[in-house]
Amino acid sequence: MNPIRLALVGLGKIARDQHLPAIAATEGIDLVAVASRNARLDGVAHFATLADLLASGEAIDAVALCTPPQGRHDLAAQALMAGKHVLLEKPPGATVSELGPLVAAAQASGRTLFATWHSRFAPAVEPARAFLAEVAPRGVRVTWKEDVRVWHPGQRWIWEPGGLGVFDPAINALSILTAILPRPVFVTGAELSFPSNCAAPIAATVAFADADGLKVQADLDFLQTGPQSWDIEVDTDRGTLLLAKGGAELSLDGQVLSAQPEAEYRNIYRRFVELVQTGGSDVDLAPLQLVADAFLLGRRLDVAPFHD
Q: What angle do CA 99, 101, 102 make, to 5 degrees?
A: 65
Per-residue model confidence as pLDDT tens digits over 199-228: 999 999 999 999 999 999 999 999 999 999
- What pLDDT is stored for residue 308 in this prediction? 87
CA–CA distance from 88 to each of 99, 207, 250 (Å)? 11, 28, 28
Strands 45-47 and 255-259: unpaired
Strands 229-236 and 137-145: antiparallel
Cα(175)–Cα(287) distance, rounded to whole angstroms?
Answer: 5
Catalytic residue among 90, 145, 215, 245: 90
Strand, coil or helix: what is 87? strand
Q: What integer is the mean pLDDT of 135-153? A: 96
> Does 263 score more than 90 pLDDT?
no
* b/e map 14-43, b = 16+ CB within 10 Å: bbeebbbebbeebeebebbbbbbeeeebee
Per-residue model confidence as pLDDT tens digits over 59-117: 999 999 999 999 999 999 999 999 999 999 999 999 999 999 999 999 999 999 999 99
- What pLDDT is stored for residue 39 in this prediction? 87
Cα(118)–Cα(122) distance, rounded to whole angstroms?
Answer: 7
Is 90 one of the annotated active-site residues of the chain? yes
Distance, C-alpha 203 to centroid of its chain: 18
Q: State the DSSP code for 118.
A: G
Sheet holding 255-259, edge to edge: 255-259, 249-252, 239-244, 229-236, 137-145, 215-221, 203-210, 185-195, 299-303
Beta bridge mates, 35: 9, 47
* Start-to-end C-alpha separation, the chain: 47
- Angle (deg, nearest 10), helices 167-180 and 286-297: 120
Distance, C-alpha 181 to centroid of its chain: 18
Percent of the chain with pLDDT over 70: 100
Cis peptide before 91 (omega within 30 of 0): yes
Cα(65)–Cα(97) distance, rounded to whole angstroms?
Answer: 18
- What pLDDT is stored for residue 258 in this prediction? 86
- Angle (deg, nearest 10), helices 125-134 and 167-180: 40
**CB neighbours of 164 closer than 8 A, spacing ≥ 6?**
69, 91, 158, 171, 200, 291
> Does 1 score more than 80 pLDDT?
no
> Which parts of 110-161 fold into alpha helices (H)?
125-134, 148-151
Q: State the DSSP code for 104.
A: H
Q: Is 163 exposed, middle or buried (0-12, 13-18, 19+ CB in 10 A)?
A: buried
- Angle (deg, nearest 10), helices 99-109 and 72-81: 10
Domains of the chain plus CATH, in order, are: 4-115 (3.40.50.720), 119-260+292-303 (3.30.360.10)
Q: What integer is the mean pLDDT of 237-246? A: 96
